[in-house]
Amino acid sequence: MDQKLVAVIDYGMGNLRSVAKAAEHVAPNNTRIIVTHDPKVIESADAIIFPGQGAAKACMNALQETGMIHPIQHAVQEKPFLGICMGLQVLMSHSDENSGTPCLDIISGNVKHFELEKAFPELKVPHMGWNQIHQTQEHALWHNIPQDSRFYFVHSYYVQPKKETFIAATTTHGTSFPSALSHKNLFAIQAHPEKSAEHGLQLFQNFLQWNG
């Protein structure tokens, strides 16, 4: 059986090792998980996981410096692609973070800051901890993950795509926000599946078995 290569994108920030370990834990025997910032490895990989934490501007600068922007933009068009947290947000056109940051423009839309002070003064930003994900469309990556399952979040910004048809799930933190997007071979989630116990591992397992 041919070996399947899954590249975990390394831009210098985020729980890269924990993401890789979680994926390895549920990966089929013929699957190899590699953490990389090499554009050639991204180009040759069979599937991509783009995790991350930190700021949008620092992420975009790191992708630019390592030459990964074009390989990522190309990969997202043709192979299974999983974005996690910052790996979701930088797929958008623009982020309000860092006084405004142009992003990868793979999904048309913006990244907005939670503005909860007036309407929900009891809620804190960042949105941190366990919260429910409400699936709004069927998808292979939701297989064996019950509706309204709890995932772990850490973020102060959320995505707002121009096309609501891209929204695969929502979560409520004061206001309802898109917590997962999907389009063809792309699936991206705001929560951290690597920190989300059995449901997170199930999502990784579903992704590694998904052909996009």
Q: Which residues are catalytic?
A: 85, 192, 194
Backbone phi, psi, residue 19, to 5°: -65, -50
Q: Which two tokens stand for residue 64?
A: 């630019």
User: Secondary structure of the chain in the HEC alphabet?
Assistant: CCCEEEEEECCCCCCHHHHHHHHHHHCCCCEEEEEECCHHHHHHCCEEEECCCCCHHHHHHHHHHHCCHHHHHHHHHHCCEEEECHHHHCCEEEECHHHCEECCCCEEEEEEECCCCCCCCCCCCCEEEEEEEEECCCCHHHCCCCCCEEEEEEECEEEEECCHHHEEEEEEECEEEEEEEEECCEEEECCCHHHCHHHHHHHHHHHHCCCC
* Beta-bridge mates of residue 36: 9
110 has which bridge partners? Answer: 94, 160
Pairwise CA distance, residues 165 & 5, whole Å: 30
